[in-house]
Amino acid sequence: MDRRIICLSIACLAACADARERDAATSASASASISVSAGTDVDTSADGSGPASEDPGVLDVAAEGAGSADDGGSSGQGCKKVDFLFVIDNSGSMSDEQDSLIASFPGFIQTIQTTLTDAQDYHVLVTDTDAAWGGECPLLCGFFNGTCPDIPSYPCDGGPPSVCDTTLGAGVTYPLGSDATNQLCAFTSGHRFMDATQPDLSAAFQCAAKVGSDGDGNEKAMSALVGALSEELALPGGCNEGFIRDDAILVVTFITDEEDKGSTGLPEGWFANVIASKKGDESAIVMLGLINDADQPAPLCPAETEDAVKLRTFVEMFPNSIRGSVCEPSYNTFFEQAVALIDQTCDDFVPAG
């Protein structure tokens, strides 16, 4: 009689354990989902298809039980740091696009700060696509009594550029020339990038991101991107010393309206160099490309725009990537989906070592 009671007790305990395991599995499945409102200009696959957002002017990342490193919804440890690199085309046709990027940045970074609650340590570096500095003003200043006729705001008394000012891929701190800020950007980091100590990050970004329109028409977006992440510029004393960190995820945004014809190499080589900057961990990188949309069924860019095949190929090599139309009047919906992707990449991140 006692043996039967013991057996029944064991069977009840086993059934209860099975029920708890089923409940846990259901909870984990629900926590892994994430809902993002995406715009039609955002390409989420090779054919550029994707859902549309009804309000392109608002960053709205809806996380429905999104997994995190703390709640068990992700296999990673979660990131505590994020390094943002912006590669901005400074050729003659890019002034309006720079304005659109600057207008979208405050909403983007604010949403990042409220979404990535555990990753409040960030670096933000801006570089352009040509090493030229100041356009024709350095020459004209000497002929017109210390002024540049075409650009009255140009600081003719600013002195010659530093080595880093004329190094492709170096962080921009003093954008000079046509359509540029024409002032020294005050970064509290003491480096050529902004960090979390910056009291007004949006204002500092606006200063740096208005890189102007005096750059070469043969844009070197990929050479600038690879250069910005190179060991040469990252070494102690290098132009970008301290920017890229092994224990941070890397978020790259590049914006250009033409195919890249000025850079050396091919997409496979550019990809390999970027991956090498993160010690081979491609899952620690988010690649965001704002390029022309000549390959789309209803392109917004001019009909004569050349399809950016190499740039598109490069973006699609990264498992965590989005591309959008550089000709879209607002980039809010593009960055809306970017935040969701960055959040998931951060959750899945396992720091080196």
- What is the model's pTM? 0.81
With a cut of 70, which residues of the chain have pLDDT below it?
Answer: 1-76, 353
Cβ–Cβ contacts within 10 Å for residue 178, how many? 20
User: Around Cβ 147, how many Cβ atoms within 10 Å?
Assistant: 16
Which pLDDT belongs to residue 328?
Answer: 97
Residues 6+ apart with CB under 8 A from 350: 76, 77
Residues in the chain: 353
Question: Residue 267: which region, alpha, beta or left (left: phi > 0; alpha: psi -120 to 50)?
Answer: alpha
CATH architecture classification, 34-348: 3-Layer(aba) Sandwich (3.40)
Going from N- to C-terminal start, the domains of the chain cover: 34-348
Residue 239 to residues 188, 190, 205, 281, 335: CA-CA distances in angstroms?
16, 12, 18, 24, 28
